[in-house]
């Protein structure tokens, strides 16, 4: 790249509206629309015996009530299994409104539409649903025990058994000088974006078209789902993601029941209808993630080098599997991390429970994978009495081993082949950044202050930017304005800025001239969505390719006008000029005008392109194979994912009286290839780390045995405030990806991945007890340290002179 | 999460408020800062027929600090009490505890008296009222009466007030001579209700020996309780008293519950630790206030 | 005689402009601002007082607008994020230093929490002596009561320092 915008910390253009209150989030749209509210199941598993709406009917302002009985055609069928997989042998999905049986608390049973949300809630409150309670399955152990089934035709509660292996693990373990076997658990958490989900729909009866706004990460696919379910032609449906108040994965799932029901109601009523999810609804009816139990057996030699790894994971997928087994696959395949694992076998059993669905939350199975692998590294170090950084170093894939094939199949159905990286480089930077060598001194210093200090680290490799594709469209208008659109959506990642930087750089125009639109099917109909840290890689490259197409055409047209060879032309600051010949130039906007031969001069600039202003009568105004307009559409479809990497270290101080855990240092080294905007990438890291710390020390979806979510509020589900988030120091490494034109890798999810692993390691290092379950609260830590049966680390025994 | 329908009145005097409360019957509720009541309404966990908003009643927004104690009017916001230096002078525990109530935006609206009327055993001010041996003035159609804290708190989020009643102020007796206080709490997140908290007062005799030690705790029982810990350290010179012994005694006196955020055992642990820590601080203050 | 109502007309000043709305008495201020007065810059992230995204200034002080009834602000002056910038008397606006700082320091990502932070911090910075250098305790206090799920707060704290520094310059 030659121009200065790519790689610069350009300030975000979306901010101007967001800091002045002029953002347009879902609930800001459609003032005066009818409001929807839902009667949701209060039971985790029950048969619906009766729905009595009588008492709701005299609520003033009530407009409509819908139950399953009112659904017709495809709406009465189960919601789609979005990502089918041969190993998902028993997929189950719910219905837009429950058909006879509810499988988790929060499942929608009745939809109410009224003049406003207050009234809709009044009516919903008066609807009496009769239930006959059924046995409830909550938690992985209960699901495995299978005394009761979530779905009667899946008696063992196993939805999928995902299995991959790279060799014969049993003989390899048998031949290993050392082996260790252990079990760990990680609890449920959730994305909890500050804006809940939401849908607004407007039906135009005159032309039979539907416009839907949804707070989604995948507008094109929501559109296709609505068209299919409501039996509309695709061209009659438009879906737009407005400003979205955070996603983190939960808004990639679709179609949510409400995304279908709100448009259905709008069509039936001929009125605008809106649903803005409230916080309580979000807790009990949007998706969660993370919950896993892991059994790890590892073989290693005297130097701590891995010889074999055998992992069995039980994954809680909630009541349904609309998103397939993506999270299990990611856990299975990303577990190997930056290490050489000679023989690897993994089985992930995905289990039904009577809880809300489990679908990707930032990191999507990787935090669990990282927890398994990194804690394995810690255990090997502990067993052999080696430094934890050293054991990692010995096992890392080295820079000369790329492309590195793990012989696994990734979430996109493609091989796990790491494209590039420098993992020893990451580790070296990390140990320097955190001061790994001086941890013992700091431990002693902290002990003098009555604190237990511990340090931990965790490395990860993250497959980012999976296909199948994204597209971009770039158009230069006669005004000089450059319109860029791509189909994927934005939830705060600064795409308007990043894509503008890319296009401005590629095209040679000032960034102010570039206007970017995302997530609007009216502008770009083909897209996959924003997930798996793929936006910059996929749409970034697509808009770059589209810009290159525009550039090529512009040079061709300008070369004609300037009577020069296209290869002698350059574009700078919106001016096409002959290199080295000042004055021989034409503004790009004039090229845009000339690109569209005209009959009518609708404005001053257009005159230049009208039929009596141009003179070449040897060819048709639009040459064969050419098209009017200075625009280009292109797609980027990668062969496979690109693999970003990173390393985190945490230092904690623990008060041995209260067992409060204070994260006193948090260091990150991060490699996402070439960086378009370092300011934005750092912001992503900060946000990810905060979620990682939250997931390790504060957040947990606490279900009781009856399937009631005990902490369905921000009062009790502890999203950290600033006071709980440590300051983060960041160092960068850039190993470009050879797979895509811009050499970039994804950065969106990375920050969250190693949080639980690094903090568990640090806490374990501080207290000398094995930490095998995360998250951990001070109360749980207190239980751990006074439990005589809790395993002590060998390191702590060595430190205290083998007294324990 | 929208409040259910209710009727609303904002009377201009306590008497008018009582009239409305009387006329509206059991379904009527006083609305003060709304920082506890409105979340309950949003979750539809409460459905009062009528809200009687006392915010327009004049004269209830005063803090009166006198030698005997601090009288806090029903419309004094947490933030207002926190800023009141005269009150802090007379009863330092007020500001120390109020600083740990929620976040500034909530303190700007929520009232001290409201948090007492709300009777949350996790609230800071319920514990302070108990420890200081305070009381509230309750206005009823029949007249005004002082109700001591012991008679007021009957259960979690439950007071003995029934029928038409407005708490017009709360009275916190002054910190006694030769006494010191301290407050500390541990919350999962800063600003959250405490997992456990302790408010203590230490009183010395003229020889700077420990004469009395009392403590009240947050989030350890259904209602605020005051525990006398004097026996653990009675008669000890202030500089050599074994506050850990008092902490150990405290642990045997409390009977906390387990919830989402902490086990009963952990709370008991914290009772011990916080007692020891706050007593040392309070003792230092008491010593400073006692001529050598 | 005290009137007992189910609906009321509320008159108040919003961002310096007198406004009036007829509202059911149960309507919370956040909804009245958004739905009745069309000021959608104030966001509702939890509706139970914890997240702070609905924070507005009532008579200059930050309060949770999800925990105040619209009828309770009768006669009050309310400032929302839309009212932070000043009119430059030339048809444009001068952003408040804290707005500028948020942009400069990348203190927002999705922007949903941002209005609540902005009004809280603006009020806090205006209430202090601008000539004094801001302390870390002050910074923590100003950002400590609002949730942000995107930024990890690092850049929000940076923006507070930045805005305080700007206001300090201006105060000289
Ligand atoms: C996010 C959040 C965090 C919080 N954290 C804490 C915390 O850490 N510690 C803490 O103590 N509190 C906390 N609170 C609650 C806050 O302190 C409230 O202000 C307080 O509990 C109630 O005071 P209020 O004036 O808001 O009362 P309201 O909400 O108006 O009323 C509460 C109850 O008391 C009754 N009542 C109020 N005033 C009177 C009166 N004068 N006469 C008769 N009855 C009356 C009402 O009828 C109602 O039943 C928190 C609140 C929120 C939203
Ligand atoms: S919406 Fe008011 S505090 Fe969250
Ligand atoms: S910027 Fe998204 S919640 Fe703060």
Residues in chain A within 8 Å Cβ distance of B193: 715
Q: Which pLDDT score is estimated for B279?
A: 98
Q: Which pLDDT score is estimated for A1?
A: 35
Q: What is the mean pLDDT of residues A412-425?
A: 94
Q: Is A401's pLDDT higher than 70?
A: yes
Hey, is the C-beta of C4 within 8 angstroms of any chain B C-beta? yes
> How far does residue B62's CA lie from ligand 2's centre (Å)?
29
Q: Which domain holds residue C66?
A: 7-83
Query: Structural domain tally of chain A?
Result: 3
Other chains touching B, judged by 3 or more CB pairs under 8 Å: A, C
Mean pLDDT of chain C: 96
Residues in chain C within 8 Å Cβ distance of B5: 6, 24, 26
The enclosing domain of B104 has a CATH number of 3.30.465.10
Query: Structural domain tally of chain C?
Result: 2
- A245 to C143: CB separation less than 8 angstroms, yes or no: no
- B104 to C62: CB separation less than 8 angstroms, yes or no: yes
Q: Is A577's pLDDT higher than 50?
A: yes
C21 and C95 share a domain? no
C107 and C148 share a domain? yes
B240 and B211 share a domain? yes
Q: Report how far residue A699's alpha carbon sits from residue A189's, in angstroms, rounded to the nearest whole number.
A: 6
A245 and A229 share a domain? yes
Task: List own/partner pairs for A402-407 with CB under 8 A and 24 or more apart.
Answer: A406/A166, A406/A333, A406/A336, A406/A341, A406/A344, A407/A166
Domain boundary pick from B173, B190, B206: B173
C79 and C95 share a domain? no
Q: What is the DSSP letter of A512?
A: G
Asked whether B182 lines ligand 1 (CB < 6 A), one says: no
The 3-state DSSP composition of chain B as helix, strand, coil percent (nearest 5) reads: 35, 30, 35
Hey, is the C-beta of A777 within 8 angstroms of any chain B C-beta? yes
A666 and A774 share a domain? yes
Domain boundary pick from C18, C50, C83: C83
Q: Report how far residue C57's alpha carbon sits from residue A665's, in angstroms, rounded to the nearest whole number.
A: 35
Residues in chain A within 8 Å Cβ distance of C45: 194-195, 245, 279
In chain A, the residue whose alpha carbon lies closest to the alpha carbon of B271 is A658
> How far does residue B290's CA lie from ligand 3's centre (Å)?
52
Domain assignment present for B124: yes
Domain assignment present for A393: yes
Asked whether B201 lines ligand 1 (CB < 6 A), one says: no
C90 vs chain B: nearest CA distance in angstroms?
34
A389 and A496 share a domain? no
> How far does residue B113's CA lie from ligand 1's centre (Å)?
8
Best residue for ligand 1 mutational test, from B6, B13, B24, B32 (most atoms within 8 Å of Cβ): B32
A279 and A210 share a domain? yes
Hey, is the C-beta of B2 within 8 angstroms of any chain A C-beta? yes
Q: What is the mean pLDDT of residues A252-268?
A: 97
Domain assignment present for A7: no
Residues in chain C within 8 Å Cβ distance of B61: none
A307 and A446 share a domain? yes
The enclosing domain of C111 has a CATH number of 1.10.150.120
Q: Report how far residue B275's alpha carbon sits from residue B247's, in angstroms, rounded to the nearest whole number.
A: 5
Q: Report how far residue A299's alpha carbon sits from residue A309's, in angstroms, rounded to the nearest whole number.
A: 6
Domain assignment present for C51: yes
When CB atoms are compared, the residue of B39, B189, B273 closest to A721 is B189
A663 and A691 share a domain? yes
Domain assignment present for C1: no
Domain assignment present for B2: no
- B38 to C144: CB separation less than 8 angstroms, yes or no: no
Q: Which domain holds residue A565?
A: 467-636
Residue A159 near residue A91, CB atoms below 8 Å: yes
C37 and C56 share a domain? yes
Domain boundary pick from A285, A308, A333: A285
Domain assignment present for C2: no
Interface test with B, best of A450, A779, A783 (most B CBs within 10 A): A779
> How far does residue C164's CA lie from ligand 2's centre (Å)?
26
Closest CA to A332 of A353, A320, A318, A314: A314
> How far does residue B223's CA lie from ligand 1's centre (Å)?
16
B124 and B167 share a domain? yes
C98 and C167 share a domain? yes
Domain assignment present for A93: yes
Q: Is A731's pLDDT higher than 60?
A: yes
Domain assignment present for C144: yes
A483 and A431 share a domain? no
Q: Which pLDDT score is estimated for A801?
A: 64
C121 and C90 share a domain? yes
* A212 SS3 class: strand
Residues in chain B within 8 Å Cβ distance of C48: 1, 39, 42-43
Q: Which pLDDT score is estimated for A799?
A: 83
Domain boundary pick from A260, A285, A310: A285
Closest CA to A311 of A242, A249, A365: A365
Atom of ligand 1 nearest to the CA of B126: 11
Token representation of residue A409: 């199949």
Domain boundary pick from C83, C113, C134: C83
Q: What is the DSSP letter of C35?
A: I
B157 and B100 share a domain? yes
B225 contacts: CB under 8 Å, gap ≥ 6: B130, B216, B217, B254
Q: Is A517's pLDDT higher than 60?
A: yes
Q: Which pLDDT score is estimated for A748?
A: 82
The enclosing domain of A650 has a CATH number of 3.30.365.10
A579 and A631 share a domain? yes
Q: Is A787's pLDDT higher than 70?
A: yes
Domain boundary pick from A601, A621, A636: A636
Residues in chain B within 8 Å Cβ distance of C52: 103, 105
Domain assignment present for A174: no
The enclosing domain of B229 has a CATH number of 3.30.390.50
Domain assignment present for B156: yes
Domain assignment present for A154: no
Which residues are registered as beta bridge partners of A485? Answer: A473, A517
Residues in chain C within 8 Å Cβ distance of B19: 2
B36 and B80 share a domain? no
Domain assignment present for A651: yes
Mean pLDDT of chain A: 94
Per residue in A607-635, pLDDT tens?
777 777 766 778 888 888 889 999 999 99
C140 and C69 share a domain? no
Hey, is the C-beta of C61 within 8 angstroms of any chain B C-beta? yes
Q: What is the mean pLDDT of residues A529-540?
A: 79
C17 and C76 share a domain? yes
A439 and A517 share a domain? no
Indicate which ligand has the atom closest to the C-alpha of A247.
3
Q: Report how far residue A762's alpha carbon sits from residue A458's, in angstroms, rounded to the nearest whole number.
A: 10
Residue C12 near residue C78, CB atoms below 8 Å: yes
C94 and C142 share a domain? yes
> How far does residue B17's CA lie from ligand 1's centre (Å)?
19
> How far does residue B117's CA lie from ligand 1's centre (Å)?
8
C11 and C79 share a domain? yes
B95 and B21 share a domain? no
Half-sphere exposure of A290 (CA within 13 A, CB side): 30
Domain boundary pick from B118, B140, B173: B173
* B85 SS3 class: helix
Q: Is A744's pLDDT higher than 70?
A: yes
Interface test with C, best of B105, B115, B189 (most C CBs within 10 A): B105
Question: What is the ipTM metric for this complex?
Answer: 0.97
In chain A, the residue whose alpha carbon lies closest to the alpha carbon of C53 is A194
C63 contacts: CB under 8 Å, gap ≥ 6: B105, B108, B109, C55, C56, C57
Question: Using omega within 30 degrees of 0 as the cis cutoff, is the peptide bond preceding B2 cis?
Answer: no
Q: Report how far residue A8's alpha carbon sits from residue A10's, in angstroms, rounded to the nearest whole number.
A: 5
Q: What is the mean pLDDT of residues B278-284?
A: 97
C128 and C63 share a domain? no
Q: How confident is the model at residue A802 (pLDDT cuts 50, 70, 90)?
A: very low
Q: Report how far residue A538's alpha carbon sits from residue C24's, in angstroms, rounded to the nearest whole number.
A: 49
Hey, is the C-beta of A708 within 8 angstroms of any chain B C-beta? no
Asked whether C52 lines ligand 2 (CB < 6 A), one says: yes
Domain boundary pick from B150, B173, B196: B173
Domain assignment present for A266: yes
Atom of ligand 3 nearest to the CA of C117: 4
Q: Which pLDDT score is estimated for B291?
A: 79
Q: Which pLDDT score is estimated for A2?
A: 39
Domain boundary pick from C83, C112, C143: C83
Query: Structural domain tally of chain B?
Result: 3
Q: Which pLDDT score is estimated for B155?
A: 94
A35 and A102 share a domain? yes
Domain assignment present for B58: no
Q: What is the mean pLDDT of residues B112-139?
A: 97
A396 and A486 share a domain? no
Q: Is C9's pLDDT higher than 90?
A: yes
Asked whether B32 lines ligand 1 (CB < 6 A), one says: yes
- B34 to C5: CB separation less than 8 angstroms, yes or no: no
Q: What is the DSSP letter of A26?
A: G
Q: Report how far residue A749's alpha carbon sits from residue A532's, in angstroms, rounded to the nearest whole number.
A: 7
Asked whether B176 lines ligand 1 (CB < 6 A), one says: no
User: In whole angstroms, how far apart are CA B175 and each of A82, A285, B180?
Assistant: 67, 51, 7
In chain B, the residue whose alpha carbon lies closest to the alpha carbon of C70 is B8
Q: Report how far residue A370's alpha carbon sits from residue A183's, in angstroms, rounded to the nearest whole number.
A: 14
- B20 to C2: CB separation less than 8 angstroms, yes or no: yes
Percent of chain A residues topping a pLDDT of 70:
99
Per residue in A321-377, pLDDT tens?
999 999 999 999 999 999 999 999 999 999 999 999 999 999 999 999 999 999 999
Residue B215 near residue B252, CB atoms below 8 Å: no
A199 and A345 share a domain? no
Per residue in C46-76, pLDDT tens?
999 999 999 999 999 999 999 999 999 999 9
What DSSP letter does each residue of A336-401 carry, written as one string?
A: TTTB--SSEEEEEEEE--SS--B---TTTTHHHHHHHHHHHHHHHHHHHT--HHHHHHHHBPPGGG
B101 and B163 share a domain? yes
Domain assignment present for C42: yes
Q: Which domain holds residue B44?
A: 7-53
C74 and C96 share a domain? no
Q: What is the mean pLDDT of residues B242-252?
A: 97
Domain assignment present for A129: yes
């Amino acid at each position: 790249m030659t121009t200065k915008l790519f790689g610069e910390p350009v300030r975000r253009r979306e901010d101007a509206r967001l800091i002045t209150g002029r953002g347009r989030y879902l609930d800001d749209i459609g003032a005066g629309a009818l409001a929807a509210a839902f009667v949701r199941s209060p039971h985790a598993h029950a048969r619906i015996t009766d729905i009595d709406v009588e008492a709701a009917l005299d609520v003033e302002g009530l407009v409509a009530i819908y139950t399953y009985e009112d659904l017709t055609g495809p709406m009465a069928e189960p919601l789609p299994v979005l990502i089918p997989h041969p190993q998902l042998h028993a997929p189950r999905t719910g219905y837009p409104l429950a058909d006879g049986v509810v499988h988790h608390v929060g499942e929608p049973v009745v939809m109410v539409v009224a003049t406003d949300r207050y009234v809709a809630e009044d009516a919903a409150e008066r609807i009496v649903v009769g239930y006959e309670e059924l046995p409830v399955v909550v938690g992985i152990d209960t699901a495995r025990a299978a005394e009761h089934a979530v779905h009667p035709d899946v008696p063992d509660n196993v939805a999928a058994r995902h299995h991959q292996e790279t060799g014969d693990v049993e003989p390899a373990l048998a031949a290993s000088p050392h082996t260790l076997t252990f079990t760990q658990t990680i609890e449920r958490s959730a994305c909890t974006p500050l804006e809940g989900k939401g849908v607004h729909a407007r039906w135009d009866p005159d032309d039979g078209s539907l416009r839907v706004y949804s707070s989604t990460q995948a507008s094109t696919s929501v559109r296709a789902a609505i068209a299919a379910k409501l039996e509309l032609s695709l061209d009659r449906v438009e879906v737009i993601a407005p400003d979205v108040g955070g996603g983190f994965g939960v808004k990639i799932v679709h179609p949510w029941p409400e995304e279908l029901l709100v448009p259905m109601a709008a069509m039936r009523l001929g009125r605008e209808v809106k649903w803005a999810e409230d916080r309580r609804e979000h807790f009990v009816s949007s998706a969660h993630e993370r919950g896993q139990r892991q059994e790890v057996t590892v073989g290693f030699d005297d130097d701590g080098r891995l010889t074999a790894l055998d992992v069995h994971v039980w994954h809680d997928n909630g009541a349904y599997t609309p998103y397939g087994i993506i999270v299990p696959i990611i856990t299975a395949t990303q577990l190997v991390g930056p290490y050489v694992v000679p023989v690897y076998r993994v089985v992930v059993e995905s289990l039904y429970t009577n809880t809300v669905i489990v679908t990707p939350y930032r990191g999507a199975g990787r935090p669990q994978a990282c927890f398994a692998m990194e804690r394995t590294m810690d255990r090997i170090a502990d067993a052999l009495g080696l430094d934890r950084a050293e054991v990692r170093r010995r096992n890392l894939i080295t820079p000369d081993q790329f492309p590195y094939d793990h012989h696994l199949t990734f979430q996109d159905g493609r091989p796990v082949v790491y494209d590039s990286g420098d993992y020893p480089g990451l580790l070296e930077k990390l140990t320097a950044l955190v001061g790994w060598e001086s941890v013992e001194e700091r431990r002693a210093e902290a002990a003098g202050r009555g604190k237990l200090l511990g340090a931990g680290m965790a490395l990860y490799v993250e497959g980012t930017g999976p296909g199948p594709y994204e597209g971009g469209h770039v158009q230069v208008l006669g005004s000089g304005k450059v319109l860029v659109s791509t189909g994927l959506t934005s939830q705060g990642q600064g795409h308007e800025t990043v894509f503008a930087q890319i296009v401005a750089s590629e095209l040679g125009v000032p960034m102010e001239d570039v206007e970017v639109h995302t997530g609007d099917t009216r502008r770009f109909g083909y897209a996959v969505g924003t997930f798996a840290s793929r936006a910059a890689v996929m749409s970034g490259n697509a808009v770059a390719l589209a810009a290159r197409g525009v550039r090529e055409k512009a040079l061709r047209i300008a070369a004609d006008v300037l009577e020069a060879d296209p290869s002698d032309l350059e574009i700078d600051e919106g001016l096409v000029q002959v290199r080295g010949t000042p004055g021989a130039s034409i503004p790009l906007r004039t090229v845009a005008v000339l690109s569209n031969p005209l009959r009518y001069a609708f404005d001053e600039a257009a005159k230049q392109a009208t039929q009596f202003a141009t003179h070449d009568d040897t060819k048709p105004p639009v040459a064969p194979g050419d098209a009017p307009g200075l625009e280009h559409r292109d797609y980027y479809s990668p062969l496979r994912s690109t693999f970003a990497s990173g390393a985190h270290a945490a230092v904690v101080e623990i008060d041995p009286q209260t067992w409060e855990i204070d994260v006193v240092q948090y260091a990150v080294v991060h490699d996402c290839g070439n960086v378009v905007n370092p300011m934005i990438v750092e912001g992503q890291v900060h946000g990810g780390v905060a979620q990682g710390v939250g997931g390790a020390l504060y957040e947990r979806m606490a279900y009781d045995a009856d399937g009631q979510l005990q902490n369905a509020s921000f009062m009790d589900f502890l999203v950290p405030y600033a006071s709980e988030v440590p300051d983060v120091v960041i160092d960068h490494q850039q190993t470009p990806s050879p797979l895509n034109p811009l050499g970039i890798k994804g950065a969106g999810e990375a920050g969250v991945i190693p949080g639980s692993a690094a903090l568990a390691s640090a806490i374990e290092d501080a207290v000398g007890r094995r930490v095998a379950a995360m998250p951990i609260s001070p109360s749980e830590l207190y239980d751990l340290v006074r439990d005589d049966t809790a395993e002590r680390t060998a390191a702590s025994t060595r430190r205290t002179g083998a007294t324990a | 999460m929208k409040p259910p329908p209710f009727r609303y009145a904002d009377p201009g005097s306590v008497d008018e408020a009582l009239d409305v409360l009387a006329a509206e019957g059991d379904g009527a509720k006083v609305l003060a800062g709304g920082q506890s009541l409105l979340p309950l309404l949003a979750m539809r966990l409460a459905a009062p027929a009528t809200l009687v908003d006392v915010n327009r009643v004049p004269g209830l927004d005063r803090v009166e600090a006198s030698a005997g104690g601090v009288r806090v009017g029903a419309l004094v916001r947490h933030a207002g009490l926190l800023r009141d230096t005269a009150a802090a002078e007379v009863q330092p525990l007020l500001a120390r505890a109020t600083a740990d109530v929620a976040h500034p935006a909530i303190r700007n609206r929520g009232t001290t008296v409201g948090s007492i009327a709300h009777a949350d055993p996790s609230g800071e001010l319920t514990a302070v009222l108990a420890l200081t041996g305070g009381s509230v003035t309750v206005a009823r159609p029949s007249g005004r009466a002082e109700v001591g804290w012991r008679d007021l708190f009957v259960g979690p989020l439950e007071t003995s007030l029934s029928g038409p009643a407005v708490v017009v102020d709360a009275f916190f007796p002054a910190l006694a001579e030769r006494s010191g206080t301290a407050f500390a709490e541990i919350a999962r997140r800063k600003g959250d209700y405490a997992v456990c908290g302790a408010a203590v007062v230490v009183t010395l005799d003229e020889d700077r020996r420990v004469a009395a030690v009392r403590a009240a705790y947050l989030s350890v029982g259904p209602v605020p309780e005051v525990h006398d810990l004097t026996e653990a350290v009675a008669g000890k010179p202030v500089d050599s008293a074994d506050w850990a012994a008092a902490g150990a005694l405290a642990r045997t006196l409390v009977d906390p519950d387990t919830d989402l955020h902490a086990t009963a055992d952990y709370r008991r642990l914290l009772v011990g630790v916080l007692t020891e820590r706050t007593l040392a601080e309070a003792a230092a203050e008491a010593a400073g206030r006692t001529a050598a | 005689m005290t009137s007992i109502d189910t609906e009321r007309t509320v008159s108040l000043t919003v961002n310096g402009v007198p406004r009036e709305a007829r509202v059911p008495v149960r309507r919370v201020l956040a909804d009245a601002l958004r739905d009745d007065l069309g000021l959608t810059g104030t966001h509702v992230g939890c509706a139970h007082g914890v997240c702070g995204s609905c924070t507005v200034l009532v008579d200059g002080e930050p309060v949770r607008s999800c925990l105040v009834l619209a009828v309770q602000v009768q006669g009050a002056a309310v400032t929302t994020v839309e009212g932070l910038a000043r009119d430059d008397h030339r048809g444009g606006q001068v952003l408040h230093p804290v707005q500028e700082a948020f942009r400069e320091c990348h203190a927002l990502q999705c922007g949903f929490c941002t209005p609540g932070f902005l009004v809280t911090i603006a009020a806090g910075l205006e209430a202090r002596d601008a000539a004094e250098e801001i302390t870390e305790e002050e910074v923590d206090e100003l950002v400590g009561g609002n949730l942000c799920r995107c930024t990890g707060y690092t850049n929000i704290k940076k923006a507070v320092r930045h805005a305080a520094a700007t206001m300090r310059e201006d105060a000289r």
